[in-house]
Structure 1
Amino acid sequence: MSLTIECQARPEGVNPRALRRDGLLPINLYGHKGADSDVFVVDYKEALTLLKKVTPNETVVEVKTPDWSGTAVVREIQSHPWKRNLLHLSFFHTDAA
């Protein structure tokens, strides 16, 4: 079973809280461009479904962005301390086959 997540470009100048109100979750993708990182958004419900099947820093996920496609692991999951709703995800590129 392959795990895949589709990312969209994050609109510039939009507050992360406004994105979350619209059902989008901000994410960062590290390592696919060397030292540079990119910011994207994913559907909140799609991210929740993915996280039920993922172990951070272990499970390889196929990440598809508008201009790049490759494998990554979930490096960091940020959630609200007591409400437990997601705030942010960080992915790190890996060369796994």
Structure 2
Amino acid sequence: MEISVELKQRAAGTKPNALRRSGHIPVNLYGHDGDKSLLLTLDAKSVENLIKKARINKTPVEVSIPELSWKGTTVIKEIQTHPWKNFPYHLSFHAVQN
């Protein structure tokens, strides 16, 4: 089963709580280009579907970022959830070197 998501680049200066209120979850992508990381977003509905299908550090996820013309295989390294509301607060992806 292949899982794929399309991430959008986060605008500079955008506050994470403002993103969450607008229905998007902040995402970081590590390892796509050495030690650099990218600040991205994913809509909350896609995050819910992704969490149901993918396992942390195990399931390969095909990620594409159209604004940067980047596409690659990643794994979810971390899912942060709200302490008592139990909804996803932040995701971290790590690129897998082929």
TM range (shorter): over 0.9
The answer for the alignment partner of 2:34 in structure 1 is: 34
Percent identity, please.
46
The answer for the alignment partner of 2:55 in structure 1 is: 55
Instruction: Return the TM-score normalized by structure 1.
Output: 0.95
> Tell me, what secondary structure is at the counterpart of 2:76?
strand
The answer for the alignment partner of 1:92 in structure 2 is: 94
Shift of 1:95: 2.5
Number of aligned residue pairs: 96
The answer for the alignment partner of 1:82 in structure 2 is: 84
Counterpart-to-counterpart distance in 1, 2:51 and 2:62 = 13
| Structure 2 unmatched ranges of 5 or more | none
The answer for the alignment partner of 1:16 in structure 2 is: 16
Instruction: Return the TM-score normalized by structure 2.
Output: 0.94
| Structure 1 unmatched ranges of 5 or more | none
Counterpart-to-counterpart distance in 2, 1:7 and 1:14 = 15
The RMSD of aligned alpha carbons is: 0.9
Residues 28-52 of structure 1: per-residue CA shift (max 9 Å, x gap):
0000100111010011110110110
